Structure 1
Amino acid sequence: MDRSVHKSWIDRSKMATVRFMELIDRTHDRLPAPTPDHGRSAIAFWSVAAVYALAMLGGTLPVPLYAFWAAGLGFGPFTTTLIFAVYAVGVVVSLLLFAGVSDRSGRCPLALAALAVVALSTVTFLMAGHVVVLLAARFLSGLATGVVTATATAWLGELAGPGNARRATITATAVNLGGLGLGPLAAGLLAQFAPAPAHLVFWLYLGALVPAFIAVALAPETVADRQPPRVAVRRPAVPAESGGRREFATAAAGVFAAFAVNALFASLVPSFLHDALRVTGQAVVGGVVSLLFLAALTAQLSAPRRWLESRWFAAGALVAGVGLLVAGLWLRSLAVFVAGTVLAGAGSGLTFRRGLGVTAELADPRRRADLNATYFLAAYAGNVVPALAIGGLDQAFDANIATSILAAALTGVIFVPAVRNRRHPA
């Protein structure tokens, strides 16, 4: 494509996005302002949490369905890993362009815009008759996820009120990981036991988005001094003080490693179960993928405080989990693979919660979504690397050898933040 034409297309896209958010902002301004009582604030807090969970659920709905699309559209493992990577790229692009906009223009307008992109992505999945359409659907899903993670996390912190930062952090991590875990489980069950496996789940999801739009539109706006939206490539925000920057860098490196392990696992499950173990039931595929995120959720909600503050516990769980994942591949053992899944999930959950707590503590209240966006940028950058690496290594090596090479590299990455880590309350 000619460079001038490409630049013109980007400029028109930015202008359309700004106008769309201005329209949503004006619509929200016409709604009656909610009464600032405790009951209304509690309802708004849990409504935003529910919408956050629903948006994250949508990000993992397609995972058990790749076998249907691969058979129907005729693509192989490399294309599957590319689809995983495109989703993560969409998140990264979103975090660089849009995630900090809610600090200027308000939480509600950006959340409504993100839900509109979620709906567009869902409709695109329903029309996925070609690999390019499928890639577009995943990219749109990633764009929406990036906005929701940064905006909703900041919104929950503000709706929780002063003195409730820990409650907001625990809720944000719970709905993030819980939504990610429920997505493949729901899609897998529907794919195996309901008609139209690649369509029904998306129709149901579209229906669930309707009350989500209403909940967000009625939620109180927490950004007092709102300005017109402006879309530009943002420089990742970091804390102002040098000590805070070091603490945040450690948290970002940890979540990069944790999400890299998640991506390695999620990209392996469908092919491992189908090719190595001859498991064809989509409910099993969805259940095994869900196990990673549900183990992460359980660990970060129930772990003793000393585990959350420990220098080595989360890193050790991640490394042991990766080791068992690789062993399960070589031994063709579902039991060993599942044990690795539980350990890797637990380490990921502990790392994620602790890092989000550090981010919430260090964030400037006026730029809360901006620092959240940088944290999630590190996380989803970790998602991109394994998906692309596995796809590339598979072209030169046996799948087990390729996975072992990547696992060895990830083990080194996991220990970097553990060595640098200072004790910090979760």
Structure 2
Amino acid sequence: MTRRSNALKLAFALCMITTAVNLQAPLYEALAARDGLGVGATTLAFACYVAGIMPVLLGLNGLSERVGCKPLIIAALLLCLVATSLTLIVPGLVTLGAARFLLGIGTALTSAVAPTYMHRLLTGGDSSMATKYVTTSTAMGFGLGAAVTSLFIFHTPSITPPSLWLYLGAGVVALVAVSTLKNTAPNPNKCAMLRLPSYPPGTLGYGLAILLAWATVGLVIAILPSALHAHGLTAWSGFATFGICSCGVLFQPWARALRPAHSTVLGLVILPIAYTVIAWGAVQGMLVAVLVGTVAASSACYGFIYLGGLKGVLEIAKAASTQVSAGYFLMAYIGFSLPVITTGALIDAVGHVAALTIFGLALSMGAIITIGLLLISQARYSQHPSGISF
């Protein structure tokens, strides 16, 4: 019972950390309008999240082995509380960018230690249960904050809705809960702090797949609110964020049952179709299409591609799993930033319809190329199980 109680405390903390990340997502359009800025500026503020993640992902992924896991979870929660407080005190796109930078650092600290910490808290228990706790709590959090904010701005439109205050209270509760947990012992063998990403033969296809998947997620979070604004549907953008971030959990058991390449290819087939439904619904003001499309896209982004790709690179990695995981997530966060910024700039230049069409064409072409790489790699692996190319 104590093990499960500790696991639930950590799961709640992980959920609160990821809840903070998209808490302000339905406010992007209102903040940009208040500051007299366009979609391009919004996507730059959004991408500051990745600027916070990258230094930790690349340069500090050995920190937990020096100080233990608990201090990093506490630091992440504190960063989330500071970031949310900033957006309450000084609302605006510049503040949003600073807040998302802090949130990026917090998320990177969390992703580096959460699976290990959960497994250790459940010592003697089911290791697969630890993975489920982590994946479910974080996926739910990424969508939960946006959905709660949408609920509040439906009732009273505001750039500082009560959801931000509610989060501060819940975050403090999570901080107290984590403070009661035991820390993991630091590793007496000092490891290198800097572990550069690695891309062994066979991992390129998985990396490109997660890049495409998270580019779609980033577009829905950062750009969809401005498209829905033209139809008076901005308040629904939080539910779209919830759909694309959290509903993928429902498809993870199916993804686990498939071989990595098959799971990833299935996700790449679904993704362009789901994106087309989302984009058409946003341009036409068809809310049902947007929400259905985000759930379908989530099945690919956080179900088949995410789990299939990660499992695939880890199978290839063997002893170099840390560096290969870093390489996989580096590709993911490149997708989460650069394509979104580019599409935002295109919207300011040529409008939503043309920019979303260009993104869709690039996504479809990228998916076709990536499927080809994965199928070729899989065929070569079947013939030569000791090593694959690409």
Deviations 1:34-55 (A, max 9, x none): xxxxx33332222222211111
Matched residues in 1 for 2:203 and 2:115: separation?
A: 17
The secondary structure found in structure 1 opposite 2:349 is coil
Distance 1:395 1:130, change over 3 A: closer
Distance 1:406 1:338, change over 3 A: same
Q: 1:195 to 1:131 in 2, by over 3 A?
A: closer
Q: 2:306 aligns to what?
A: 352
Could you tell me which of 181, 187, 194 is aligned with 1:219? 181
Once residues 17 and 217 of structure 2 are traced to their aligned partners in structure 1, the CA distance between those partners, rounded to angstroms, is 18
TM-score (norm 2): 0.84
Partner residue of 1:33? none
Residues 1:322 and 2:280 are matched in the alignment: no
> Structure 1 pair 226/120, CA: closer, same or farther in 2 (3 Å)?
farther
Residues 124 and 133, structure 1, Cα contact 8 Å, conserved in 2: yes
Tell me the equivalent position of 2:237. Answer: 285
Q: Distance in 1 between matches of 2:8 and 2:122?
A: 10
Kindly state the Cα deviation for residue 271 of structure 1 after the two structures are TM-superposed: 1.1
Cα distance, 1:159–1:145 mapped onto 2, change above 3 Å:
same
| Letter aligned with residue 277 of structure 2 | L
Structure 1 residues 235 and 279, CA, compared in 2 at 3 Å: closer, same or farther?
A: same
Q: What corresponds to 1:17 in structure 2?
A: none
Are 1:99 and 1:150, in contact at CA under 8 Å, matched by a contact in 2?
Answer: yes
Tell me, what secondary structure is at the counterpart of 1:139?
Answer: helix
What does 1:10-409 correspond to in 2, within 5 Å?
Answer: 39-161=1-123, 164-193=126-155, 198-225=160-187, 234-238=194-198, 245-246=200-201, 248-275=203-230, 277-280=231-234, 282=235, 284-301=236-253, 305-306=257-258, 309-310=262-263, 312-349=265-302, 350-358=304-312, 372-409=325-362
In structure 1, what is the Cα distance between the partners aligned to 2:321 and 2:127?
A: 12
Decide whether aligned partners of structure 1 residues 179 and 360 sit closer, same or farther in structure 2, where only a CA change above 3 A counts: farther
Q: Tell me: CA distance 1:200–1:385, structure 2 relative to 1, closer, same or farther (3 Å).
A: same
Q: Percent identity?
A: 27
Corresponding residue number in structure 1 for 2:387? none
Unaligned runs of 5+ in 1: 1-38, 240-244
Offset of 1:324 from its aligned partner? 2.1
Mapped partners of 2:349, 2:156: distance in 1: 39
Taking a change above 3 Å as real, the CA distance of residues 335 and 190 of structure 1, as seen in their structure-2 partners, is: closer
Give, in whole Å, the separation in 2 of the partners of 1:247 and 1:40. 42
What CA distance in whole angstroms lies between the structure 2 residues aligned with 1:81 and 1:204? 26
Instruction: State the alpha-carbon separation in 2 of the partners of residues 347 and 306 from structure 1.
Output: 13
On the 8 A contact 1:150/1:376 being kept in 2, the answer is: no
Task: In structure 1, give the amino acid aligned to 2:221.
Answer: A
1:221 CA drift (Å): 2.8
Whole-Å Cα distance in 2 between the matches of residues 115 and 143 of structure 1? 11
Offset from partner CA, 1:282-310 (integer Å, 9 cap, x none)? 2x221222121233122224568248744
Q: Which residue of 2 aligns with 1:8?
A: none
Cα distance, 1:331 vs structure 2? 4.2
- How many residues are treated as equivalent by the alignment? 375
Identify if the C-alpha distance between structure 1 residues 59 and 398 changes in structure 2 by more than 3 Å, giving closer, same or farther.
Answer: same
- Contact 2:17 2:76 (8 Å CA) reproduced: no
Q: CA distance change for structure 1 residues 303 and 263 in 2, over 3 Å: closer, same or farther? A: same
Q: 1:150: Cα distance to partner? A: 2.1
Give the letter for the 1:377 counterpart: L
Q: CA RMSD in A?
A: 3.2
For the residues of structure 2 that align with 1:358 and 1:323, how far apart are their CA atoms? 27
Unaligned residue ranges in structure 2 (runs of 5+)? 382-390
